[in-house]
Structure formats: C-alpha cells, structure tokens
Structure 1
Amino acid sequence: MLSYFGFTIAFIAVFAAGRRFLLIPMLFFIVYGAIGNAISHTYWVILEGGYFPGFFTAQLYWVIGTLLLARLVSSWRVAAVATSAFAIFLVSVLSLTMQTA
C-alpha cells in the first residue's frame, strides 16, 4: 500500500504542482502496474482455459490504463500503439517463460 501512496502523491504533484520529473513513477504504474496487469491476467486465463484470480478486475485496466496513458502523452493513437506493442512484447516474454518452466 505504501507504493500506491507514493504513486498517488506523484500523480498529484505532477498535475497540481507541475513536477514533471515525477512522471517516471507514474509511467511505471500505468504501463506495468495497470496495462501489464491486464495483459498478464488475460494471458493466464487463456493459457489455463479457466478463471485466474484477478481476471475480472484486470479487464478494467485495459481501459483505465490506456485512458491514463493517453492523458499522460496527450494522444489516443500513441497510447493505443504503446499498449498494443507492450501487449505483444509481454505475451512473447510470458510465452517464452512458460515454455522453459
């Protein structure tokens, strides 16, 4: 919970106080924390062929993560391309990891 508190304070500081350098923790939270969560939970459900804990809430991150990223970079197109590219990359990494395990 402490990390979420840090991300929340960074988010407020970026938009309220103009502290642009704090975008780095926000970018990590959005890309890996939200979008990565959505990608990996969806992948595991498809791989297992059944429910995986966190799947339903992770589906909200497909939308929320992309919305936040679009707000951060001020472009829907860039956010959609980045989300798609990260999905392709993460699914490839997860697939390789599952094959070697």
Structure 2
Amino acid sequence: MRSAAVRTAWSSMRTRRATWGRAMALRDLDRYLRRPDLAYDQTAAMGALVFIDLNLQGDQAARFLGPGALWQQWLHDAPHMQGTTDPTPSSLSLIRRLCAFVDECAESG
C-alpha cells in the first residue's frame, strides 16, 4: 500500500502530465484537423483531450466539437472517415482503459 506522500506526489505528477498532454493535443488537433487528407492519430488525440477536460474540469475540446467546428469538418471531409460515426466515444473509452491500466501498474509497482 502506498503512503500518503507517494499518493500525493503521483496525483501531482498526473496533473502536470495531463496539462502538458492537453497542450500537445490542442496543438496537434488544431494543425491536423485542417488536413483531412492526413490520417494520423486525430481520433486518439480527441479522445485524450476530452478525457483530460473531464478530469481537469476544462472545456478545451469544445472549440473543436461544436456544430461546424473543425472536428465535424474533418469527419466529413477526411476520405478515411467517410461513412463512419463520430469515433469520440470509443476513443474516450480507449483512453480511459489505458489510463486505468497505467494507474493499476503504478499502484502495484
């Protein structure tokens, strides 16, 4: 079992990483959602951004997700996304599972 000091340090580190991750996701989404011809990790980045917003009580994803915003445009214009539903819920679920796995590994380590 972890001491209170270790749990506090782990929580602080997670918050710092999430803040950094949000900045990276914002930068990448702003750049690559303007390029529907590129199929990188836009869906994973959006799932991560939504996850971070939910955990840090932020609202950064909203600028991409609104009607007519970059996310909807990219889903419509990207040839590899044609005929698919919005992958945000499944991407968010994946990010949640990955974070839970990391937390579990950290707890047992």
**TM-score of the two chains, using structure 1 as the length reference:** 0.43
Structure in which a larger fraction of residues adopt helix: 1
Higher relative contact order (CA 8 A, sep 6+): 2
Mark the structure with the bigger radius of gyration.
2
- Under a length normalisation based on structure 2, what TM-score does the superposition of the two structures give? 0.41
